[in-house]
Chain A
Amino acid sequence: GNSVTQMEGPVTLSEEAFLTINCTYTATGYPSLFWYVQYPGEGLQLLLKATKADDKGSNKGFEATYRKETTSFHLEKGSVQVSDSAVYFCALSLMNAGNMLTFGGGTRLMVKP
């Protein structure tokens, strides 16, 4: 079946630190890969996505590269801010499964000033 594994949190960083949240996947086909973010009290928002191998998704200073050889889609940011504190979800979808999303467990990021 399809599954997504991401590092457990919480991840606590100081402002301006470098962030990596690891995500690996298994899929029965060729998936699209996503990072969603959930800020406190809000719903899930798409942060970035990539649809084929070696594609890099980027948004708001966050980046993730679709690595087919390692089945990974790690999220990185060079310098985090307090406002980045949120829960981050890695997910995949397959078109032959109606684009339903399979999520990882979520990683809570806390950034301290």
Chain B
Amino acid sequence: EPEVTQTPSHQVTQMGQEVILRCVPISNHLYFYWYRQILGQKVEFLVSFYNNEISEKSEIFDDQFSVERPDGSNFTLKIRSTKLEDSAMYFCASSEVIRYGTEAFFGQGTRLTVV
């Protein structure tokens, strides 16, 4: 069964460093998303991406964040200068189309720890 894969599963980084979280969405999907879950809190939407551009973003997704689809298969989230409060589980998701009730398929997540 096709699945969304994320690497690495766990990343530890020092405050102020740049990190890139990687995702390989399901191959025929066109819409891509990043969500995050700070420990003990809700899963929160960060950004959606379609046709090589951001379609929606939340207020969390500030100038420190960027997304890219560098080739036909990868979808990346970059955090330019990490802060302690960026420590969270980051989930990538993809969906085939945007139709009423379309489900998103999620990866297993990358746990980012900023020290």
Which A residues have a C-beta under 8 Å from some C-beta of B? 32, 34, 36, 41-46, 49-51, 89, 91, 93, 95, 97-106
> Within the complex, which residue of A36, A44, A99, A104 is in contact with B98, where a contact is CB–CB below 8 Å?
A99
Interface residues of B in 17-36 (CB under 8 A from A): 31, 33, 35
Known: A51-B100, A100-B33. A42 touches B42 (CB 8 A): no
Number of interface residues of B (CB under 8 A): 29
Contacts of A102 in B (CB 8 A): 45
Indicate if the CB atoms of B95 and A99 lie closer than 8 Å.
yes
Query: Which B positions have Cβ atoms within 8 angstroms of A?
Result: 4, 6, 31, 33, 35, 41-45, 48, 50, 55-56, 91, 93, 95, 98-109
Do B56 and A97 touch across chains, with their CB atoms under 8 A apart?
Answer: yes
Q: Does B43 lie within 8 Å of A106, measured CB to CB?
A: yes
Closest to A45 in B: B106
